[in-house]
A and B are shown apart, each in its own frame.
Chain A
């Protein structure tokens, strides 16, 4: 059984990032499994209209206003006409939204439900419960997710978070981790000598990535250990703090700031070191630590969010997100590397067996199989569910759903179904259902996709 799937999100290439590459990789693998995937996102600059990517993935860059950090203006109904056109012309069965901060995704899920399609949602991030923005997002999420057929989270921590935020039944939520293209993250052919220990940090330099912890810890580590060097890659508002720290402690010869790193250069930076330090304060999954371990680095990371689930314990040293503990953990890692009690170069093979996009796509497909078996709910059932969302919000949501339904009737009258041309499909691949484990491991030559090189930064 092959499905026509529409991935809806505000976040997609050319913007670099984790959600973006997740959507692309999963879509690409789903196409390999014989499904048809279209991606719907808003336009980026002059990149408007319909484009094809490698593997026959069709991307609709819908012209829309962008309000904040590449998120489209959250209008409740304005996306419906276009979405309906795309859904009808591509004969979509499943609408799959990505990212809870994406207005496109939230709107798309609501309208898809109104049109009687199956819906799925993937949450990529963790949220708080206390501040105003989170409360608003959570309320909105409760609205759209109260009627979504299935929710996918990137880690179990993320699943718990989403279940709480959107008041969902945990049985409708699955945890499917991210993955990585392990071929692109091979360890160095000859590991760097252990006479000087090099610690690598690659992250966007934002407060939530724990840059303040780095500022506090790096001078202490440098003072304690003679031959330790740091390489810091990435850019962001906290870069200036790190530079001040370097100047204040006169560490110019021991701490190297690389600035923004292109995604395909990440491996080249990683293999210069033996230890990867990840001091993030919140993280739903943390693809970068998997990449680091795959490159044969020993990982020191804070025990926050979904990070503890990501790697087996022999590859990591966990620390509490505080200065003293990170310092202690890093010191332990340095001793371990020096004494040779860990063998980071062996990590790559383990990671390769643990994470592959093919596996992610397979599991996502199982979710699709499940939701396609569900019966689509009647309008009155949907309204009951929306009504239960809150005293005032519930009534508002019911109103929105009813207006949405009427809008669909109007669209059906104004742009009748029979006048919408059905688009031609890209030739589908021969479906390979049963894969031997060796095939799953050895990823084919199409794995390396040239256009990931568009990425400027590293998530």
Chain B
């Protein structure tokens, strides 16, 4: 890792990204985030746009209805575009949709639009200082779950196997002094063994005191 000092993201293994911002820090990121303009990315974007569009449409329609006396901009433009629509149906729809339904719809729309749709988990190793584990939240509005563990409290970092539902998975865990439970690194994604071994080697060389003096 020492030779590759450029702070660029480079995929070592599929699903793992390694960043080396400074010679003494190294960040491992495991993510399910789709590549930009990949099919999944575009689909999610289009779906979110459709949801937002529908909500905007209803709000504008309702807005029209309330300011009935002034102008019927949206109503008239719809009727102009599609003259075969019965205007009574449109008015009925406007009357039916109450404001509180709209509010509910609006909030759920915002919630859906704010969903991240992927999980990103990272381990930042600061040589001699400690490690920071981060798990992204499900929404853009909620802060990521971050924890810093100083080197002095780290007793061990290990890879082991365990039962998760109907599966047996590898996991990497940090043993913290005076805590009964270990801290699992990448707890949501539980990446594959290859990735974990790679991360383990990197984290090990950095937190051990003999590595510090090199």
Residues of chain A within 8 A (CB-CB) of B168 are 50, 60, 82, 85-86, 89
User: Which residue in B161, B166, B192, B193 is a CB contact (below 8 Å) of A50?
Assistant: B161
Contacts of B166 in A (CB 8 A): 81-82, 85, 415
8 A Cβ contacts from A72-107 to B: 81-82, 85-86, 89
A63–B163 alpha-carbon span in the complex (Å):
8
A residues less than 8 Å from B193 (CB atoms) = 421-424
| A48: interface (CB < 8 Å) | yes
Across-interface contacts of A81 in B (CB, < 8 A): 166-167
Q: Which of A50, A62, A415 has the most CB of B within 10 A?
A: A50
Distance between B157 CB and nearest chain A CB, rounded to angstroms: 17
Is there contact, CB below 8 Å, between B170 and A421?
yes
**Interface range on chain B: under 10, 10 to 19, 20 to 34, or 35 or more?**
10 to 19
From A49, A89, A423, A424, give the contact of B163 (CB < 8 A): A49
- Kindly list chain A residues whose C-beta atoms are within 8 Å of the C-beta of B169: 421
* B contact residues around A89 at 8 Å (CB): 168
Overall SS of chain B's interface: strand
Residues of A within 8 A of B161 (CB): 49-50, 423
Per the 8 Å Cβ criterion, residues 182-214 of B in contact with A are 192-194
B96 interface residue, CB < 8 Å from A?
no
Select from chain A the residue with minimum beta-carbon distance to B161: A50
Q: B83: which A residues are within 8 A, CB to CB?
A: none
* Nearest A-chain residue to B160, judged by Cβ: A50
Cβ contact within 8 Å between A49 and B167: no
Taken together as a complex, chains A and B put the C-alpha atoms of A82 and B166 apart, in Å, by 5
Interface of chain A residues 39 through 68 with chain B (CB within 8 A) = 48-50, 60, 62-63
| B95-123 interface with A by 8 A CB criterion | none
| A410–chain B nearest beta-carbon distance, Å | 12
Indicate if the CB atoms of B192 and A421 lie closer than 8 Å.
yes
A82-B192 contact, Cβ under 8 Å, with A89-B168, A421-B170: no
Q: Give the CA-CA distance A89 to B192 in the complex, in Å.
A: 12
**Shortest Cβ distance from A422 into B: residue:** B193
In the complex, per-residue mask of B146-173: 1 if CB is within 8 Å of any chain A CB, else 0? 0000000000000011110011111000
List chain B residues, Cβ under 8 A from A82: 163, 166-168
Quick check: B167 and A50 within 8 Å, CB to CB? no
Chain B residues with Cβ below 8 Å from A48 are 163
Chain B residues positioned under 8 Å from A62 (CB to CB)? 163
Looking at the assembled complex, report how far the CB atom of B15 sits from the nearest CB atom of chain A, in whole angstroms: 12
Give the contact-size bracket for chain A.
10 to 19
Most buried by A among B166, B169, B192, B193: B166
Q: A residues within 8 A CB of B163?
A: 48-49, 62-63, 82
How many residue pairs at the A-B interface have CB separations less than 8 Å?
Answer: 34
What distance in Å separates the Cβ of A358 from its nearest Cβ neighbour in chain B? 30
Rounded to whole angstroms, the CA-CA distance of A82 and B192 in the bound complex is 17
Task: Name B193's closest neighbour in chain A (CB-CB).
Answer: A421
Q: Tell me the nearest residue of chain B to A90, going by C-beta.
A: B168
CB distance from A369 to the nearest CB of B (A): 29
The residue from A415, A422, A424 contacting B167, defined by CB atoms under 8 A apart: A415
Which residues of the partner chain B approach A424 to less than 8 Å between Cβ atoms?
A: 193
Minimal Cβ-Cβ distance residue in B for A421: B193
Chain A residues near B194: list those with CB within 8 A: 421
Complex alpha-carbon distance, A48 and B170, angstroms: 15
Partner of A49, one of B162, B170, B192: B162
Q: What's the minimum C-beta distance from A390 to chain B, rounded to whole angstroms?
A: 32
- What's the Cα separation between A81 and B169 when bound, in Å? 13
Q: Which residues of B contact A415 (CB under 8 A)?
A: 166-167
A86 to B194, CA, bound (A): 18
Chain B: CB-nearest residue to A43:
B163
Q: Is the CB of A85 within 8 A of B170?
A: no
- Give the complex CA separation of A48 and B163 in angstroms: 8
Q: Report the Cα distance A415→B169, complex, angstroms.
A: 12
- Distance of A312 from chain B, by nearest CB (Å): 47
In the bound complex, CA of A125 to CA of B168 (Å)? 32
Q: Is the CB of A85 within 8 A of B162?
A: no
Within 405-455 of A, Cβ neighbours of B (below 8 Å) are at 415, 421-424
Q: Considering the chains assembled together, what is the distance between the CA atoms of A442 and B58 in angstroms?
A: 88
| Minimum distance in angstroms from A73 CB to a CB of chain B | 16
**Which of chain B's residues have a CB closer than 8 A to the CB of A421?**
169-170, 192-194
Question: What residues of chain A lie closer than 8 Å to B192, measured between beta carbons?
Answer: 421
Closest Cβ–Cβ distance, residue B192 to chain A (whole Å): 5
Nearest residue (CB) in B for A63 is: B163
Q: How far is the CA of A86 from the CA of B192 in the complex (A)?
A: 15
Distance, CA A235 to CA B168, complexed state (A)? 39
Bound form: Cα–Cα A63–B164 in Å: 10
In the complex, A86 Cα to B168 Cα: how many Å?
A: 7
B21 to chain A, nearest CB (A): 30
- Residues of B contacting A422 with CB < 8 Å? 193
Cβ contacts under 8 Å, A85 to chain B: 166-168
How distant is A50 from chain B, measured CB to nearest CB, in Å?
Answer: 4
Which of A48, A62, A85 counts the most chain B CB atoms within 10 A? A85
A58 to chain B, nearest CB (A): 9
Most buried by B among A86, A89, A415: A89
The smallest C-beta distance from B144 to any residue of chain A, in angstroms, reads 26
CA distance A423 to B193 in the complex (A): 8
Q: How far is the CB of B156 from chain A (nearest CB, A)?
A: 16
The answer for the CA separation of A100 and B162 in the assembled complex, in Å, is 28
25 residue pairs A–B, Cβ–Cβ below 8 Å: A48-B163, A49-B160, A49-B162, A49-B163, A50-B160, A50-B161, A50-B162, A50-B168, A60-B168, A63-B163, A81-B166, A82-B163, A82-B168, A85-B166, A85-B168, A86-B168, A89-B168, A415-B166, A415-B167, A421-B169, A421-B192, A421-B193, A421-B194, A423-B161, A423-B193
Query: A82-B167, A85-B166, A415-B166 are known contacts; what are 17 more A-B pairs with Cβ within 8 Å?
Result: A49-B160, A49-B162, A49-B163, A50-B161, A50-B162, A62-B163, A81-B166, A81-B167, A82-B163, A82-B166, A86-B168, A89-B168, A415-B167, A421-B193, A421-B194, A423-B193, A424-B193
Pick the 8 closest A-B CB pairs, nearest first: A81-B166, A421-B193, A50-B161, A85-B168, A49-B162, A421-B192, A85-B167, A421-B170
